[in-house]
């Protein structure tokens, strides 16, 4: 596949991201890399280094060669981390999958990625073996949430010496599939150069050091928990407090021992509902970071009032890693995702409010086995078309106003969901809202809102009347539905495709 950015790449062995991390492991050999939130299980950097070598040797025994894909659908564990590192060390391509995916969904990913090996939960081994036979996968091994299983047993018998496979900057390190909410899921080809450049930039920007203790409650089948959190912590030689999942009480207990936390907005909203979450809880914290979904401005302000900490909101996507961040020093503006990272160029197509385009060493190589889609999503001068709609002010601050696919065209006028959602969120007792466009016989699309509440709400007509004081008539929701919760994916992002399906017949003629 042609790289539309026309970059030149070296072929030296230590362009493998693992080599960069391995030097940090060696320098921090005796220090703790990962410890459980309860403090009863620890893994030193030297032990992690040895585990990665053993797993890399195990993969080689299973037939994995440089460039092969390794499909991993297992629960979060430190053994899973060692496996991630081992795949890179062996020169292969790590393909993580959400453990919640069904066998039918995994069938698509395996058919598309054509992996050499599948690593799954022991309970799914029979189903995965049948799937592997259908698609010509060499081996299926298992690993559970405690880090036990046939792969762990094999790795334990391996030598802890392993020579890291030479990789070039443009060689693949990861194959991460997009959510596929609007069509066929696409495999984003993430290179060693993408990951190394992004990790080094974020360590510097967020001032992460070996003195930091990262509270890690994110899943590691996603860019945020895998690449942003792990790679930066390892590159800095920081310690990680390991939580297998988000649990507000567990995080509150671990926060006094932590200095750094990365989370999705729902982490912060749930912490704010806990009375025991106080300024004293955060007394040793240096930085809170939020991403993967929009952080409500009210959440930003409420969190700062409660804790004294202004959350750093950043902006990224599967295809690009991190693109922008609010500054470490200076104002962290609610509603803004900050400025473009050093070395990353961001522009708005056509200027004003429009599609965000990005170019830089963080931008992925293209879509796996989709050369036409890759060409379609890059401009002639090498910018990736994100599909996000935004603005950039005179200070370089970026604001996201929605997704291009979520843009509503009602009566010929463009309606940007974010603007309407912010107006609805400002109504008394509204917690959060989501705006979608659904078929309308007169306007093409009609604006529909789904809202969650923390107390009694005015009537639908009263809310629409109040919104009419702030919004032009064509932007007003024609219907407002009060729901217990908004549909979300595993990273807390609202699934607007589900809302469009749910309310598709709102304006259909009555029989």
Residue range 95-104, pLDDT digits in tens = 999 898 889 8
Residues 168-181, mean pLDDT to the nearest whole number? 86
Candidates 392, 313, 325, 332; CA nearest to 356 is 392
Q: Where would I find the beta strands (DSSP E) of 31-186? A: 32-36, 42-44, 69-73, 93-96, 117-120, 139-142, 172-177
What is the pLDDT at residue 183? 54
Candidates 437, 231, 211; CA nearest to 316 is 231
Ranges of each domain in the chain: 44-191, 407-502
Which of 28-37, 348-357, 422-431, 435-444 is predicted least confidently?
Answer: 435-444
What is the pLDDT at residue 39? 82
Distance separating alpha carbons of residues 225 and 219, to the nearest angstrom: 5
CATH architecture for segment(s) 407-502: 2-Layer Sandwich (3.30)
Residues 311-338, mean pLDDT to the nearest whole number? 95
Half-sphere exposure of 445 (CA within 13 A, CB side): 21
Q: Provide the whole-model pTM.
A: 0.86
Cβ-count burial of 441 within 10 angstroms (0-12 exposed, 13-18 middle, 19+ buried)?
Answer: exposed
- Give the right CATH number for 44-191 from 3.90.226.10, 3.40.1160.10, 3.40.50.1000, 3.40.50.980: 3.40.50.980
Distance separating alpha carbons of residues 252 and 267, to the nearest angstrom: 11
What is the pLDDT at residue 485? 94
What is the pLDDT at residue 444? 81
What is the pLDDT at residue 181? 43
Mean pLDDT over the full length of the chain: 92
Contact call for residues 277 and 306 (beta carbons, < 8 A): yes
Residues 459-475, mean pLDDT to the nearest whole number? 91
What is the pLDDT at residue 11? 41
Tally of CB atoms within 10 A around 407: 16
Which of 32-46, 70-84, 205-219, 230-244 is predicted least confidently?
Answer: 32-46
Does the pLDDT at position 287 exceed 60? yes
Half-sphere exposure of 350 (CA within 13 A, CB side): 6
Q: Where would I find the beta strands (DSSP E) of 199-325? A: 213-216, 239-242, 260-263, 287-290, 312-317, 321-325
Does the pLDDT at position 1 exceed 70? no
Phi and psi angles of residue 236, each rounded to the nearest 5 degrees, phi first: -85, -10
Which of 106-115, 116-125, 150-159, 434-443 is predicted least confidently?
Answer: 434-443
Residues 169-173, mean pLDDT to the nearest whole number? 97
Contact call for residues 190 and 364 (beta carbons, < 8 A): yes
Distance separating alpha carbons of residues 31 and 53, to the nearest angstrom: 18
Residues 498-506, mean pLDDT to the nearest whole number? 94
Q: Which residue has the tokens 């069509």?
A: 183
What are 192's strand-pairing partners?
Answer: none
Distance separating alpha carbons of residues 229 and 416, to the nearest angstrom: 31
What is the pLDDT at residue 13? 52
Does the pLDDT at position 480 exceed 50? yes
What is the pLDDT at residue 229? 98
**Could you give the percent of the chain with pLDDT greater than 70?**
96
What is the pLDDT at residue 182? 44
What is the pLDDT at residue 2? 36
Phi and psi angles of residue 192, each rounded to the nearest 5 degrees, phi first: -60, -40
Q: In Å, how far are 51, 59, 280 from 54, measured between CA atoms?
A: 5, 9, 42
């Amino acid at each position: 596949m042609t790289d539309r950015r026309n970059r030149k790449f070296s072929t030296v062995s230590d362009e493998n991201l693992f080599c960069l991390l391995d030097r940090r492991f060696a320098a921090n050999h005796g220090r703790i890399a990962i410890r459980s939130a309860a403090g009863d299980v620890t893994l030193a950097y030297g032990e992690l280094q040895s585990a990665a070598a053993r797993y890399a040797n195990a993969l080689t025994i299973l037939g994995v060669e440089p460039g092969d894909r390794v499909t991993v659908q297992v629960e979060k564990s430190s053994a899973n981390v060692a496996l991630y590192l081992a795949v890179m060390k062996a020169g292969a391509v790590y393909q993580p999958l959400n453990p919640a995916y069904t066998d039918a969904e995994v069938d698509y990913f395996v058919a598309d990625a054509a992996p050499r090996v599948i690593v799954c939960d022991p309970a799914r081994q029979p189903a995965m073996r049948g799937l592997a036979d259908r698609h010509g996968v060499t081996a299926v091994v298992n690993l559970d949430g405690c880090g036990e299983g046939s792969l762990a047993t094999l790795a334990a018998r391996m030598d802890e010496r392993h020579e890291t496979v030479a990789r070039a900057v443009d060689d693949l390190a990861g194959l991460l599939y997009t959510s596929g909410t609007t069509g066929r899921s696409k495999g984003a080809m993430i290179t060693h150069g993408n990951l190394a450049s992004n990790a080094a930039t974020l360590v510097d920007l967020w001032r992460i050091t070996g003195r930091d203790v990262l509270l890690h409650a994110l899943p590691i089948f996603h860019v945020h928990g895998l690449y942003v959190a792990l790679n930066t912590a390892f590159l800095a030689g920081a310690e990680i407090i390991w939580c297998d999942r988000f649990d507000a009480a567990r995080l509150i207990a671990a926060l006094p021992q932590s200095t750094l936390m990365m989370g999705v907005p729902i982490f912060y909203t749930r912490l704010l509902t806990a009375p025991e979450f106080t300024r004293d809880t955060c007394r040793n914290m240096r930085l809170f970071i939020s991403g993967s979904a929009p952080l409500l401005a009210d959440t930003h302000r409420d969190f700062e009032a409660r804790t004294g900490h202004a959350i750093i909101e950043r902006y990224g996507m599967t295809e690009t890693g991190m693109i922008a961040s609010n500054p470490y020093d200076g104002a962290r503006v609610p509603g803004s995702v900050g400025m473009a990272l050093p070395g990353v160029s961001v522009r708005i197509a056509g200027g004003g409010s429009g599609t965000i385009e990005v170019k830089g060493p963080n931008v992925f190589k293209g879509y796996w086995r989709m050369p036409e889609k890759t060409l379609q999503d890059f401009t002639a001068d090498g910018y990736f078309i994100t599909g996000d709609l935004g603005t950039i002010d005179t200070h370089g601050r970026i604001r996201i106003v929605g997704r291009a696919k979520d843009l509503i065209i009602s009566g010929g006028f463009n309606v940007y969901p974010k603007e309407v959602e912010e107006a609805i969120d400002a109504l008394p007792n509204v917690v959060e809202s989501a705006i979608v466009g659904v078929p309308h016989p007169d306007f093409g699309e009609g604006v529909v809102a789904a809202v969650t509440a923390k107390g009694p709400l005015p009537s639908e007509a009263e809310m629409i009347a109040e919104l009419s004081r702030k919004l032009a008539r064509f932007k007003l929701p024609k219907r407002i539905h009060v729901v217990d919760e908004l549909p979300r994916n595993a990273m807390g992002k609202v699934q607007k495709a589900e809302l469009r399906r749910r309310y598709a017949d709102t304006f259909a003629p009555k029989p």
